[in-house]
Structure 1
């Protein structure tokens, strides 16, 4: 018996040419690059948002709110004198050369059981903070016979914000200069103390304040660019990404970064400066303050405590902190 064999037809698969495969791989590579570039762009945009609108220690612009993290650093009721009523104070406003009024609190020795003072100190808060941050120092300066002005920098607290966010001392230094003139019209001697962006803003404004009695600059930085390049977060990024972040932030924030503590200190030499920077600072390396102290040719003192977070040395050892400042100012 003859066995019949049947041949089953198999489906014919399309035969891709080598040229088609190469085109497909190229398209996939292009899409991957586009997606990667989009992700990087979104990351840089998000990072620039954080730089332009930071929140220091969880602070919010609503003075009626007080988060536990903020209270830990600012003190009871987050340093809000309206709520603590710890000191009698005056609600004040003064004109900034930036084109608007800045709100502040003037806390005089005379209004708090002391004698009228002919000396005053302006306290300048860190970036992303507001005037409440500085109220913890009022008692120390009242003991030294000084009236105290603490105010909100532009785009902080209750101050107006005409241009987008923080400029790392460029616009803020104009606010400091305006506060100086506000006090200069009322007092024989004016002092200044600032932390981080506040310290940088004072140092940038220094050439315009030759009659300032003294400066206390806690954890300043040399320039915006070096601040970002030395940040711990930048260490894990490629150099081109860090440079792009710097340029994007300056463009969006409408500042060029040329006005820096490093450049301004080269134009001033008459005002005594007490530089303070903790070696435990994880935000800004203390070597930046060492560099600034080296650049400055005027009278200076440098203190580098072993402990204390960024802008929070007082919180670590209040007694030593206040004693060093009191000893410095008495000298």
Structure 2
């Protein structure tokens, strides 16, 4: 009897330890250092600090509904009502968004780039892969519309987690932008987690540890995997969406973007980049990337834009 009880206690301790370990890795994922991101983007020629510093802009702090500030730059070189919000990926910060911002500045848009919760200079204790982030994005959109007026013509560009956050915002909260660009999003975080678990921790069977991790997230951070599945809300998005993914991406598989594209109703476009791994579609295919954006804007978005 004592031996059986000891085995049960040991098994319980093991599962609790694993659940705590994996949920910690998700909630407190290691972020890149700001200086590392800056040096990478400058070295690659995607960020010119002199040019960035000379842009007419202001730093703003937007209040999250969860009580912390979201740090942002509002960049306004143009006298226009056209704006783009850029949502970066997990472990990155707003300086990773500058390359996308520049694409839209060239096309006559003003821009707002910001740090997600627990990233860059924003507050927040955990990363939730779109669950809490979508409410923060709503706060950013609401702030910009209040600041610039009801006639705002707005686009949102998201990369990776930022793209999933954007789709969750549009599909669950409000279809509040005029167009969306989703670059390498996951369609279902539960399936993404299952896939990464197989790749990174081969000794842990997903059938056992996916529900265990889900339970720990429910208990510790008050959301579940089911709450971060853009595929479950994609049909709610009425505005045009451009889906982008690198065909060689082996971190988030391109099949996830294809699934989202197939399920999206109404105006949509799909661009599959030939080169580059995860979140590298622009970096490795810049001319084709820009052509896809121009085609999308001209065909689906700007054709219904309000006059500037």
TM-score, scaled relative to structure 2? 0.83
Partner of 2:95: 132
Partner of 2:27: 52
Select which of 133, 153, 162 maps to 1:198: 162
Superposition pairs for residues 155-304 of structure 1, below 5 Å?
Answer: 155-161=118-124, 164-185=125-146, 186=148, 188-207=152-171, 208-231=173-196, 232-233=199-200, 236-238=203-205, 239-259=207-227, 260-268=229-237, 270-304=238-272
**Distance of 1:300 and 1:128 partners within structure 2:** 28
CA contact (8 A) 1:234 1:242 kept: no
After superposition, the Cα gap between the structure-2 partners of 1:145 and 1:160, relative to the gap in structure 1 and judged at 3 Å, is: same
- Tell me the secondary structure at the aligned position of residue 73 of structure 2: strand
Give the superposition deviation at 1:45: 2.4
CA contact (8 A) 1:274 1:301 kept: yes
Aligned length: 290
Determine which structure has the larger helix proportion and give its number. Answer: 2
Partner of 2:302: none
- Which runs of 5 or more residues in structure 1 are unaligned? 1-22, 111-115
Give the superposition deviation at 1:266: 2.6
Give the superposition deviation at 1:217: 0.3
Partner of 2:112: 149
Partner of 2:281: 313
TM-score, scaled relative to structure 1? 0.77
Report the aligned-residue RMSD: 2.9
After superposition, the Cα gap between the structure-2 partners of 1:228 and 1:104, relative to the gap in structure 1 and judged at 3 Å, is: same
- Tell me the secondary structure at the aligned position of residue 274 of structure 2: coil
After superposition, the Cα gap between the structure-2 partners of 1:292 and 1:73, relative to the gap in structure 1 and judged at 3 Å, is: farther
User: Computing the radius of gyration over CA atoms, which structure comes out larger, 1 or 2?
Assistant: 1
